[in-house]
Amino acid sequence: MDTTIESLGTPRIDSPLKSLKFVEESERVLYDISVESACRDLSSGKEPESFMRAGPRSKIFFDCSKLKCAIVTCGGLCPGLNNVIRSVVLTLHHSYGVNNILGIRYGLQGLIPRYGHGFMELTPEVVSEINELGGTILSSSRGPQDIQEIVDALERMNVGIFFAIGGDGTFRAAARISEEIRQRNAKIAVIGIPKTIDNDINLLSRSFGFNTAVSMATQAIGAAHVEANGAPNGIGLVKLMGRNSGFIAASAALDKRYANFVLIPESDFDIDGPRGFLAVLEERLLRRKHAVIVVAEGAGQKYCSADGADESGNPRLGDIGYYLKQRISEYFHSKGIETNLKYIDPSYTIRSVPATANDSVFCGFLGQDAVHAGLAGKTNMVVGSMNDQFVYVPIREIVKARRQVDLDGRLWRSVLEATGQPSFLNDEPASL
């Protein structure tokens, strides 16, 4: 893994942040802090993998009095977007004296002339209370745009630092933007701030919005629990976000522990057969008279997959929640067993709410460290959290994969212990 962070050049200007403790370029954060990993590296004579520590540098690359910055939000909505925008603007203005900050409207479309979206001037007054709002004041969009046109616009606007807030698709675009900038020998820094409610950014331990999503998802599971207990053979079925990774479903299920079954993309399951999901659910209803099911949107796609891809290039998902609702109803009707099923899908409610206090603080740190990176001339990188430290990670490493729930790790094992659910695979033992 190459963890080298690209730079526009040697920073030569004294930082205006005289009162802060500066981070040295040599400071690193270990990726794997386990004793076993350290022993393996020592025995093999290999340097342990580590990443550059985030934070303010004593020398910066840009002249703050002449610098213009631009901020864009891309992809789906996520709690905390406005908090990150606010943090970037306030840090640029108050810490570095940068007064020329533009918000790009409607994602990368805002840089393409034919859309005619225009820009938004971002000042401390404009962003002072946006942290109380869900969504993004800049609005967003999906889908690819012409990279040359994007860089043309950045050069035309005389932008020095381009802050891109988004997920995997946004970062793939940011990497191509950085490459085009490099070929033109332009001095524009591209700084990524990871946004995915699913918490599936490769290498990073946390993404903003996840804490808020889990909090809101817990409320939905609580409602399903009440509904399930409110009628004979009551079933509460909750579909949560999680296209490729089940972190929200697994984490929310562990809060009040109302969930009896948790289905995630990482863990395959059979729906039919003597040890399949429907048979196990039947046994649960006969024994306890109620059940709460939590399913991540990307689970069980072998049963309900859709054709094609969305605007971001992701494979379209079938509606596993509706599929389960139909199959459960048909299964128990065929057996003459009356059930009362309530289906809850809070996805758009969850992603559009304001960030929790915990997420808000986290967003503040991300915004600050993104600004520190940009002012120091670093580029083609993402700022993120790793082992409770903030680090700079090359975009090329971020986009190599998506982070997923480790089926042998503590999170999933805790879910299995809390629910007592079996594997739902007919060719495996039913017990844990």
Task: Please write the tens of the pLDDT for every residue from 159-171.
Answer: 999 999 999 999 9
The CATH code for residues 210-352+408-419 is: 3.40.50.460
Mean pLDDT along residues 129-149 = 95
Note the Cα 222 to chain centre separation in Å: 24
How confident is residue 47, by pLDDT bands cut at 50, 70 and 90? confident
Point out the residues that are catalytic.
198
CATH topology of domain 6-207+355-398: Rossmann fold (3.40.50)
236 pairs with which residues across the strands?
292, 342
pLDDT computed for residue 311 by the predictor: 73
Region of poorest pLDDT, from 1-10, 36-45, 216-225, 231-240: 36-45
* Cβ atoms of 253 and 262 closer than 8 Å: yes
What integer pLDDT is reported at residue 308 of this predicted model? 82
Share of the chain above pLDDT 90, in %: 89
Report the percentage of the chain scoring pLDDT > 70: 97
41 vs 64 pLDDT, higher one: 64
In this prediction, residue 115 carries a pLDDT of 96
pLDDT, one tens digit per residue, over 271-300 is: 999 999 999 999 999 999 999 999 999 999
Per the prediction, the chain carries an average pLDDT of 94
Decide if pLDDT at 432 tops 50: no
pLDDT-derived band at 225 (thresholds 50, 70, 90) equals very high
Q: Quick check: 346 and 221 in contact, CB under 8 A?
A: no
- Domain spans, the chain: 6-207+355-398, 210-352+408-419
The model carries a pTM of 0.94
Torsion angles phi and psi, residue 61, rounded to 5: -95, -35
In sequence order, what are the beta bridge partners of 162?
A: 70, 190
Confidence of residue 51 (pLDDT cuts 50, 70, 90): very high
Q: Pick from 155, 126, 150, 125: which is nearest to 138 by CA? A: 126
What integer pLDDT is reported at residue 431 of this predicted model? 47
Per residue in 82-127, pLDDT (tens digit) is: 999 999 999 999 999 999 999 999 999 999 999 999 899 999 999 9
Residue 371 in contact with residue 91, Cβ under 8 Å? yes
Tokens of 36: 């076993």
pLDDT grade for 37, boundaries at 50, 70 and 90: low
Instruction: Express each pLDDT in 231-241 by its tens digit.
Output: 999 999 999 99
Measured CA to CA, the distance from residue 274 to residue 254 in angstroms comes to 27
pLDDT of 270 strictly over 70: yes
Neighbours of 282 (CB within 10 A): 18
Average pLDDT over residues 306-310: 79
Lowest-confidence region among 28-37, 78-87, 129-138, 367-376: 28-37
Asked whether residue 335 carries a pLDDT value surpassing 90, the answer given is: yes
* pLDDT score for 315: 81
Q: Do domains 6-207+355-398 and 210-352+408-419 have the same CATH topology?
A: yes
> What's the pLDDT score for residue 38?
60
Q: Are 387 and 45 in contact (CB under 8 A)?
A: no
